């Protein structure tokens, strides 16, 4: 459910100023977005389920939901498949197995589980601050 923003003004001019500030936040964020991989995000990891999947990828598959800041630090070579909700983690570029580089192309995915809720909350929080 979308956030409801309660904006009040002492005068019509004050109310107009606050509504314009809220609109400006929406326009600005529509153009720039937010930095991804923050602590309020929850990410899941999904590996391919076949005999070609390496033990490192399989190990991540069984982890609990990961925070965005954990994803940022653990998967430094990641790349977007479908922004903002699906990433290719490039696990094989960031990790080794028994001290040896991982061979083959990583076929796993990272998915941002709660992105609509997080982005809506970030936008509402910023609008509230701007409308003060």
Q: Where are the domains of the chain?
A: 42-118
* Residues 6+ positions from 117 with CB-CB distance below 8 Å: none
CA distances to 14, 86, 118, 120 from 132, rounded to whole Å, are 10, 35, 22, 19
pLDDT tens for each residue of 63-95: 778 999 999 998 888 888 888 889 888 888 888
pLDDT tens for each residue of 92-126: 888 878 888 777 778 889 999 998 888 888 888 88
């Amino acid at each position: 459910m979308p956030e409801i923003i309660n904006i009040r003004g002492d005068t019509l001019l004050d109310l107009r100023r606050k509504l314009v500030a809220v609109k400006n936040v929406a326009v600005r964020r529509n153009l720039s977005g937010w930095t991804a991989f923050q602590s309020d995000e929850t990410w899941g990891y999904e590996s391919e389920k076949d005999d070609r999947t390496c033990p490192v990828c399989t190990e991540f598959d069984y982890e609990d939901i990961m925070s965005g800041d954990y994803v940022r630090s653990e998967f430094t070579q990641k790349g977007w498949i479908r922004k903002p909700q699906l990433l290719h983690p490039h696990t094989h570029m960031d990790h080794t197995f028994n001290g040896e580089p991982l061979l083959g192309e990583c076929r796993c995915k990272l998915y941002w589980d709660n992105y609509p809720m997080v982005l809506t909350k970030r936008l509402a929080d910023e609008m509230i601050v701007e409308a003060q």
